[in-house]
Structure 1
């Protein structure tokens, strides 16, 4: 009897160790894969993508069973072929911010009973209390894009008149009232965010309760998190997640952090910045919040993104620290409204329903990913995905918006699903 108890304890300790493992580098062969086959296929896809100007450069990191089995860089920062992509380069994550910034904070507050998924969100965002079309929308509906709120508002239009900057909102010199930095020589009026909140108060929800992707609510999550915790949003996520995970590059406003890492440029902005956007957030709405927003604004290296996704893959545990209860991760990463043909989890994206029956051209992401898998993509050309069933983390970083967001061959050529498919076809388990 005593021997059985000891064996049971040892088994539990072993399971805990595996579940809270820390990423290490190893070869594809260490997990039963053929490195030559993988290398040949990835090289081919990446080189073709660069030739076809899907992006000037990119990097790919894949981890299997807690081991980083592939991490390579391709191409250059720009098409002038001057600066090669390096493995520690930092990228503008764009909408991947949604699952790496406000979402872990909301998950933690939910776990602590400080925020509820199925009560009217107007309980936490009182601007909506008397808005008939929004007063009963829940956080679950918002996170699953089931709220009916319109997809996007270009708030930059409020700061421009006939394409020229309104001086009452944007200044070239920092001051007490203009301390939020929009770009290297531009400062946004501190109270401009309240103008954004007023427009969000009036934004329409169609009441249809069906899938409609909207990034509007993510703009207000940081303020909600601050209101509930009494701590600044940046400090809260830094202290609760990024610092303990040792994600040294993951964060907002990288220009202020004196990184040795190069920060990959995004788009040449012909409207306001009149410059190649480098070191500052690409998304204009996030820039209007001084670069700190729930919809965009985070920057990261591939390694730091892999740590974060591995933690989620391991049911909220990493390197011996438990960040979330397993049931919290499972709740947020499951499909919420399957009956409405809405594939989304809570904040997390999911494979298309019936994805495994689709061709690589029609699938999202690769047809071989499991239904338990989850992740998110970003407008700048980023994509992160975790698959618990196959114990696989996939991190792809690029600047496909260089020199212009009109470059869409990353989608037209199905580059990311094809890269992902390489590793799934190589799996032996």
Structure 2
């Protein structure tokens, strides 16, 4: 069972004496699950961010299962210009790199399984290794810190109301002095608004740095996918042109083979007829001449037969090449189609990633203001009235609540199991 008792070591004693000791600093797991039914998305940045990553990996895996991505290009499709082969090989390499980035980013759909093995994964001080879990872990930490201020702030507001309703100057002076000490302690003391902002500032900076580094990597992958998509039609056109050339060559070679075969037949018949006929007419006297004439025509027949065999062999080889190109055209058309889905999913994910970065930069700015504003320092609070002290207290507290609200987006819905996009006619995944 999770320990939900408050750690009093970081809270001023005078505040502890005035607040219940049962304040929970560790929320239940339900904090990470919204009311949305499983499998449905809302339009929050984090939901879109999570969904687009899963879409990207889904489309990407479909491409990597195709023969063009798994087998030798030359063995499957024959020889092509090196620039086209390089384009295919590079985009496939890019997709494999995107697949392997799952080890760094994580899988939004398996966080529940990770929690089942280690329930403390979101409640320890150890930073998770995967980016997705890191975001949820830190958002929960920020949420709990901001939430821990509520009870003390509520108490201080009640004390301020007592000050406002006090009827005597002595009572007002007494309440004001005590309230000033308590406000300063709550603002700048151990475990107060400023100290916690400073500690969260470093952790926020670490997360932003990690997101920015991943952004650089994903932007580079996205640019490679876009570059291929922009030029993919050229390779397809080249393949179609070469296929048409092969078909025309097969036709020409067939005609040449037929002509050579006829030439062979004609020379063979002519050689036989000439040799025998001359021999009969000369009663054998012209035997040497008939042999020479027959031999000459026979040599030409042999040459014609040799050319026929060559044309037939060339035609058969061209038919093999044409079949490979026909397969390439078919495979390339589908490859380009699914690669385009991958490219679009990657582009959408990069947009959502930048939005997530921007949201945490806003949180960083809010924390930095609380941590470094001179208005909240004790020496400034000593110089102003209790009314302005309370206004500054409320301002800092509201900043923390704004941070809490922004952070809650990264805890709510973080355990939803997102269904992959299903096209019309496709079966619903059974394990979703």
- The TM tier, using the shorter chain, reads under 0.3
- Structure with the bigger RCO (C-alpha within 8 Å, sep 6+) is 2
Point out the structure with max Rg over C-alpha: 2
